[in-house]
Each structure stands twice: as structure tokens, then as C-alpha cells.
């Protein structure tokens, strides 16, 4: 076991991050966050690591990560989450080119929209296998359960059912799948069990709120780099 660990460390060398197509940067991190790039390479990320269009980000058990996009929008990832930045286009001088598509494969997140959400809210989409989340300028949480939400607290004391759970702190979101579309406003909760069942608003006692630790929620950046030199990322 020790030999294997040494081989893994030896294969990981730290380099500074610099990408022309940067979509955003990691501002807070507690735990292990990895990125699979569009070119197939994989890296461990740290605070100040850049992320780009095409990156698939994965948080390990116990890991929370906060990402700030170039337009000021932010996303916080829960432990055991995997998302892909399918598309990210932002140019302050060219609002007609705005485009954000984030695909969440598993886990949960909280998101706050930035400038794109203010000037082109229809250009922001969060997609899951169960339903697509549309934005109306907002702050919301999303949790996709697939027999992996036993640690998520509920008012009834039982794990949340499988499917997509959402909560809205401010603004409005839409939930859309093959069976229909609904809008969910501030203070409301929604649920979609599968892609063939219409999305529905649920009462607060059945709602699931995605929560984050205070260390990730605070504005001051938290976490450190990788290795003795605090590198921004580590190539694997």
C-alpha cells in the first residue's frame, strides 16, 4: 500500500494554471476537487485554480468547493458531486453571445447568477437526467439523489427520495422535462422523481434545502494550494 501511494505522489507534479478560455476560478475549497479537461487530462484543483469550458468537476466525500465565474455568478458543490461545464461564453461587450450550460450528473449544488442572469437569463441552463432548470435571475439549490442521499437531513428523519430536489432562496426557476414545466418562486420547493413524471411544487415539510458550511458560504476565500509550494493545481 505504501509503495502504491508513493507511486501516485511521484506521478503528480504541480504546475501553475493559466488558460485563455477560463470560465471561472475556485475561490473556496475544503477537501479534494478534481477536474477532467476537454483534452482528456485530469488534475487536482486548489484555491485559485482556473476552470474552463469542457471541464468535468468532481468533489470527493467531505469536500465542498466554491466556483466564481467570469460574469460574477457562483456555484458551490456538495460532497460527492460531479458537474460538467458544457458551455460557458461571456463577454461584457457582447451580451448576444452569452451562454451557460452546466450538466449535473450527481450530487448537489447552490448557485447564484451573475451578470448573464441579469441581462440574458434565458441563456443559463442547469441540466440533469431528470429535468432541466431554467433561471429567472436567482439563488437556488439543487440535489440529485440516486440512492446516495442517506446523509441529507430531512424534517421526516428519512433520506430524501430519488430524483431531483430544488429550493429557491430568491427569484424564480423553472423545472422542465418531457412531462411538463412549472415555475418555482422564492421560498418554495420542487421535486421531480424521474424524466417521465411532471415536476411538482412540494410543501415545506417535504422540501429539501441544499445547505453549505459557513466556511464555504463566507465571502473571504478559504483553503490553500497543493503541495509545499501551494500550487494552483496538480497534474495527474
pLDDT of residue 136: 84
Region 137-142 average pLDDT: 92
What pLDDT band is residue 16 in, cutting at 50, 70 and 90?
Answer: very low
User: Cell 427569484 belongs to which residue?
Assistant: 171
Region 178-185 average pLDDT: 97
Q: Would the pLDDT of 164 be above 80?
A: yes
Q: What digits encode the pLDDT tens for the residues 60-87?
A: 999 999 999 999 999 999 999 999 999 9
Taking the C-alpha atoms of residue 119 and residue 132, their distance in angstroms, rounded to an integer, is 20
In 3-state terms, what secondary structure has residue 117? Answer: helix
Taking the C-alpha atoms of residue 125 and residue 174, their distance in angstroms, rounded to an integer, is 10
Q: Would the pLDDT of 214 be above 70?
A: yes
Neighbour-count burial of 81, counting CB atoms closer than 10 A to its CB (0-12 exposed, 13-18 middle, 19+ buried): buried
Q: Would the pLDDT of 53 be above 80?
A: yes
| All domains of the chain in start order, with CATH | 25-223 (2.60.120.1440)
Selection from 80, 70, 81, 46 nearest residue 231 by Cα: 46
Amino acid at each position: 500500500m505504501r509503495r502504491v501511494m508513493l507511486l501516485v505522489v511521484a506521478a503528480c507534479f504541480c504546475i501553475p494554471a493559466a488558460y485563455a478560455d477560463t470560465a471561472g476560478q475556485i475561490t473556496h475549497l475544503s477537501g479534494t476537487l478534481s477536474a477532467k479537461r476537454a483534452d482528456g487530462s485530469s488534475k487536482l484543483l486548489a484555491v485559485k485554480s482556473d476552470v474552463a469550458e469542457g471541464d468535468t468537476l468532481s468533489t470527493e466525500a467531505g469536500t465542498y468547493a466554491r466556483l466564481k465565474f467570469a460574469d460574477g455568478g457562483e456555484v458551490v458543490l456538495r460532497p460527492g458531486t460531479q458537474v460538467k461545464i458544457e458551455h460557458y461564453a461571456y463577454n461584457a461587450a457582447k451580451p448576444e453571445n452569452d451562454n451557460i450550460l452546466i450538466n449535473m450528473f450527481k450530487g448537489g449544488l447552490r448557485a447564484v447568477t451573475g451578470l448573464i442572469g441579469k441581462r440574458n437569463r434565458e441563456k443559463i441552463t442547469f441540466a440533469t437526467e431528470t429535468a432541466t432548470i431554467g433561471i429567472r435571475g436567482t439563488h437556488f439549490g439543487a440535489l440529485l439523489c440516486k440512492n446516495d442521499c442517506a446523509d441529507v437531513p430531512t424534517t421526516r428523519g428519512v433520506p430524501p427520495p430519488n430524483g431531483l430536489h430544488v429550493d429557491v432562496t430568491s427569484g424564480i426557476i423553472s423545472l422542465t422535462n418531457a412531462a411538463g414545466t412549472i415555475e418555482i418562486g422564492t421560498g418554495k420547493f420542487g421535486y421531480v422523481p424521474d424524466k417521465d413524471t411532471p415536476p411538482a411544487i412540494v410543501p415545506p415539510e417535504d422540501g429539501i434545502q441544499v445547505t453549505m458550511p459557513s466556511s464555504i458560504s463566507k465571502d473571504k476565500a478559504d483553503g490553500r494550494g497543493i503541495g509545499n509550494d501551494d500550487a494552483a493545481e496538480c497534474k495527474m
